[in-house]
Structure 1
Amino acid sequence: MVTGGKRENIIVLTKPVTLEGESDADYTAPNPLKLILGLFKHVRPGSDLTRFEVPPLLNLPKSQLQSYGETVYCTATDMLSRCNHGKSPHERLIAVVAWSISTLRPVQFGVAPYNPVLGETHHVSRGNFNFLLEQVSHHPPVSALHATNEEENVELTWCHRIAPKFHGASVEAELQGKRKVKLLNHGETYVMNSPNLSIRFLPGPGTEWVGNVRIQCQETGLEAEYRCKSSSFMWRRGNHRSIKGKIFESSSLKTLYEIDGHWDRIVRMKDINSGEFTDIYNAKEVISRLNATIVKDPRELRPSESAVVWCEVSQCILSKDWEKAREAKRTVEEKQRELLRKRGSIGESWVPKHFTVSHSKENGWDCSPIQERVPPGPIVVPL
């Protein structure tokens, strides 16, 4: 934690969640039955939870925007740059698959980050990679990410909408939007989706990533698919956090490699022609020894920076001053409502600062960065 220049409040930057699902803040998951009863007081099965307000007692001391960014820039090795180093299209696609798997992180049951306010930003650098995130819509909640590495000539864009629904014994959060990894030296663009998050209350509390991920590269004619499998009600260590998939040719659908393993352990690839096995991802090597980001230049922190917006709320949560946390959170949310009322009174629409946003029933949400390159951020990942 560091002080932000002349700001009276302390900027709180906590460590990312560990591979075991723990954080550096002291939390105990609430009783799942109490959570279900609390949800039933406000919503019914099938309801959209995007407008459901979480009390500070159930909040992590960070915004969802920061948590979202951490899945990309908080790694022990630079997985994105590694995608550029493959000597062949096959090797580069395999590296992109491994990077995609690295964004799957444990989610703590019973607690959630803050819902980002409209226009909230998060600007971070990790080595030569610069990351800029912006909350481009509040209802529905849509986040946009743009990252560039000029040395490696790699670019990432990621449009991300969370659509959670309550189903009585569980919450299913669909993650809509596309991720695009551009390897500009090779003229290749890899387009992919995200799996969904399942939060289960009964018969035992837990969270898991479920669903299919598809990665396509039109320039090379190669594709990959993998499925995050549910452990179901019968808890089995072998099925927990497992994935299974393949890499194949788009035109012939010929399978080249088979993928199997667990995203929190080892993922292996089998070469169909030779029968050889290769480890393509080791979670303990990638998601370990992760430190909290630090403020390199407090003078460059924008008022819209996520840690600035929520600094007082986070301080109160870490000190377990729940009454002040509720007041501070109410202040942030009321400020957003007041800005919404002012814009409505003069007929003004809010426009994102760093992205152009489009939406259609056919293509969903799409966010395109306005600037070609992301400049270095005031917050950095210690290497």
Structure 2
Amino acid sequence: MLGYEGLEVINPEGGTDDAEEEALRGRWKQEDRDSYWKMMHKYIGSDVTSLVTLPVIIFEPMTMLQKMAELMEYCELLEKADQCEDPYMRMAYASTWAVSVYFAYQRTWKPFNPILGETYEMVNHQGITFLAEQVSHHPPMGVAHCENEHFTYDITSKVKTKFLGNSVEIYPVGRTRVTLKKSGVVLDLVPPLTKVNNLIFGRTWIDSPGEMVMTNLTTGDKVVLYFQPCGWFGAGRYEVDGYVYSAEEEPKIMISGKWNTSMSCQPCDQEGEPLPGTELKEIWRIAPAPQNDKYQYTHFAHKINSFDTAPKKLLASDSRLRPDRYALEKGDMSKSGAEKSRLEEQQRAEKRTREAKGEQFTPRWFNLTDVVAPTPWGELDVYEYNGKYTEHRAAIDSSSAADETDVTSIEFNPWQYSVSCTDCCAISSFHAFVVLWPSPPRVKLQFFRK
């Protein structure tokens, strides 16, 4: 059992299924799991973010940049925080907004890693404009900026992982800042780590045990919420509780609930007990989700993938246009795998070109700052929004010429360089068709000279 360190047999739904039967459930057939384990066990203890190329059978038709945008589903909570006069209720609304995304984060499908220079744009939701850009490939880093009349949101995110055998821990090495425009306060968010359980053996499920801390950098007030770890048969799963504290560290409001259902709050005394004459007030409830959805998507997740939330003259680097993502969305797994391999090889070819020219990749919409932010899981180089996208959009929106372009016909193009003849030869001389049968580790390559 030494090689199976971290293996747990848990029914996170709290049912009464036999433990042995539960352990046999999973995404892979028995022979697939065995082969996958042989391939993966050598990475135990490693950061597997960039070490392993994974088959599309475990992917969802969404990229990490799009998944970053899911935090905006309940952005009306930030609007309430901005309009709230009570400084402690303001923190209650804002921290609940940070909790609200965890229902979406429990999906066990893996999003696509963005190509360097890839972007994601979203409009037509609560008056916000959301932009994300992949600014680094090794290590993978995504940056996003979102804004409406009530708030601005900025994040620099670098994912760090630790593979534990049958599970992987994901450390959110990032810096999140929210500015509420009416009050001018700036909020900082530090989320808990996430653990993906039963990667190979058993039913895959996700948990995020630990503390979430939101700090008002303007006043010193803060919120500390504790995400209960999932125990045997689902005990404690989903539960969140904590307090809003004043700058003097006195509890002011107690917050409790479940991240997959609703969150409530109530004023409390200095001992953290509810104040007499007050009631528990619900401040957020999850919206109904589609039944039996293949990827467990919410209605908002489908909206994120839709071109209905795309602006006019969508950037050619947008995640929606990725051919591998789009093929998987249409159910063509073979084409998705082939396109994923092609994009990854083109990315490697561009890196070789960049190195040969002695150049470095420069993000288009964000600038690297001199700030190195400390996080619980390591230091982080911080990027900031440079404002060029706002100018770009303003120029398009003010144009009187109607844009008749069929957005689905735009070719995905995040590349820094135009594809030269040399690059074409490097990328297209051989076409590789990866046949993932009978299992992902047993790969058959067939080459055809073009």
Is this a same-fold pair by TM over 0.5?
yes
Larger Rg: 2
The size of the alignment, in residue pairs, is: 344
Give 1:272's aligned residue. Answer: 268
Give 2:345's aligned residue. Answer: 334
User: Which gives a bigger RCO, structure 1 or 2 (Cα 8 Å, sep 6+)?
Assistant: 1
Partners in 2 of 1:87 and 1:361 — Cα distance?
A: 30
Q: Does 1:295 align with 2:293?
A: no
Q: How far has the Cα of 1:269 moved from its partner?
A: 1.9
Q: Does 1:49 align with 2:81?
A: no
User: 2:88–2:252: 8 Å Cα contact kept in structure 1?
Assistant: no
Q: Does 1:355 align with 2:351?
A: no
How has the CA–CA distance of structure 1 residues 216 and 36 changed in structure 2, closer, same or farther, with 3 Å as cutoff? farther
Partners in 2 of 1:186 and 1:38 — Cα distance?
A: 53
Q: How far has the Cα of 1:35 moved from its partner?
A: 4.7
How has the CA–CA distance of structure 1 residues 36 and 175 changed in structure 2, closer, same or farther, with 3 Å as cutoff? farther
Q: How far has the Cα of 1:44 moved from its partner?
A: 2.3
Partners in 2 of 1:327 and 1:164 — Cα distance?
A: 26
Q: How far has the Cα of 1:195 moved from its partner?
A: 2.0
User: 1:213–1:225: 8 Å Cα contact kept in structure 2?
Assistant: yes
User: 2:226–2:240: 8 Å Cα contact kept in structure 1?
Assistant: yes
Give the 3-state SS of the residue equivalent to 1:67 in structure 2: helix
Q: Does 1:173 align with 2:185?
A: no
Q: Does 1:368 align with 2:384?
A: yes
Partners in 2 of 1:272 and 1:32 — Cα distance?
A: 52
How has the CA–CA distance of structure 1 residues 204 and 114 changed in structure 2, closer, same or farther, with 3 Å as cutoff? closer
Deviations 1:156-201 (A, max 9, x none): 1011111121101211111111211101221200111122211111
Identical-residue share of aligned pairs (%)? 21
User: 1:122–1:134: 8 Å Cα contact kept in structure 2?
Assistant: yes
Gaps of 5+ in 2: 1-12, 14-24, 270-274, 290-296, 398-406, 408-450
Select which of 111, 131, 134 maps to 1:113.
111
Q: How does 1:242-257 map to 2 (within 5 A)?
A: 242-250=239-247, 252-257=248-253
Partners in 2 of 1:196 and 1:32 — Cα distance?
A: 29
Q: Which structure is higher in helix share?
A: 2
User: 1:133–1:144: 8 Å Cα contact kept in structure 2?
Assistant: yes
Partners in 1 of 2:368 and 2:99 — Cα distance?
A: 27
Q: How far has the Cα of 1:228 moved from its partner?
A: 1.4
Q: Does 1:345 align with 2:362?
A: no
Give the 3-state SS of the residue equivalent to 1:300 in structure 2: coil
Give the 3-state SS of the residue equivalent to 1:113 in structure 2: strand
Q: How does 1:25-44 map to 2 (within 5 A)?
A: 30-31=27-28, 34-35=32-33, 37-42=35-40, 43-44=42-43
User: 2:26–2:204: 8 Å Cα contact kept in structure 1?
Assistant: no
Q: Which structure is higher in strand share?
A: 1
Larger displacement relative to structure 2 (35-44 or 79-88): 35-44
User: 1:209–1:228: 8 Å Cα contact kept in structure 2?
Assistant: yes
Q: How far has the Cα of 1:123 moved from its partner?
A: 0.9
Q: Does 1:69 align with 2:69?
A: yes
Gaps of 5+ in 1: 1-19, 21-27
Q: How does 1:229-248 map to 2 (within 5 A)?
A: 229-232=228-231, 234-237=232-235, 239-248=236-245
User: 2:83–2:182: 8 Å Cα contact kept in structure 1?
Assistant: no
Deviations 1:311-348 (A, max 9, x none): x2234324443332221111111111111111000110
User: 2:175–2:373: 8 Å Cα contact kept in structure 1?
Assistant: no
User: 1:244–1:259: 8 Å Cα contact kept in structure 2?
Assistant: yes
Partners in 2 of 1:221 and 1:367 — Cα distance?
A: 24
Give me the CA root mean square deviation.
Answer: 2.9
Partners in 1 of 2:388 and 2:87 — Cα distance?
A: 25
